[in-house]
Amino acid sequence: MKNLIEDFKNFIKKKGLKYTSEREEVLREILEVEDHFDVDTLYFRLKNKNSKISKASIYRTLPLLIEAGYIQEVYKQAGHSYYEVTFNKLPHLHFICISCGRVDEVMDPRLNQLIKEHEQEKNYKLLSYHLEIFGICSNCKEALK
């Protein structure tokens, strides 16, 4: 944990930027959040801890966290973006129920293998990926009967 924060500090400094309390607040918060989050989630969680951070600062910090490899944008729904912590996370896919909005994470190492192959074949540099599957979950399937 301490290392993650030190690493981010170094990342920021290496870019010639300033390491501020707001940037650290956002980092600490995303490390505590489970599952997926959006900007509002972070904002209100921080507000509840008496942080004086603005949404603008969150919006300005997220790209840094993405660039540093801590988080990733995983999907957009109802017009806004959802992120997740990718740090130390295994490759997985998202099953999104369009009826109730529930999101299932499913691990599958074959997916990672498949993507790595394409990366090599096409001579890309892979930065991130995500597989979203939209459907109707078993609960909602029952409810619709």
**Residue 5's binding partner out of DNA, its own copies, none, with CB under 5 to 8 Å set by partner kind:** none
Comparing CB distances to its own copies, the nearer of 51 and 112 is: 112
Work out whether 108 is an interface residue with DNA (CB under 7 A). no
Rg (CA), the chain: 17
| Of positions 19, 95, 105, 112, contacts its own copies by CB under 8 A | 95
The answer to whether 138 contacts its own copies (rule: CB under 8 A) is yes
Using the CB atoms, write b or e for 26-59: b if 16+ within 10 Å. Answer: bbebbeeeeebbeeebbbeebeeeebebeeebbe
Element (DSSP H or E) covering residue 70: none
Residues lying near its own copies in the complex (CB under 8 A): 76, 93, 95, 97-98, 104, 106, 108, 110-111, 114-115, 118-119, 122-138, 141
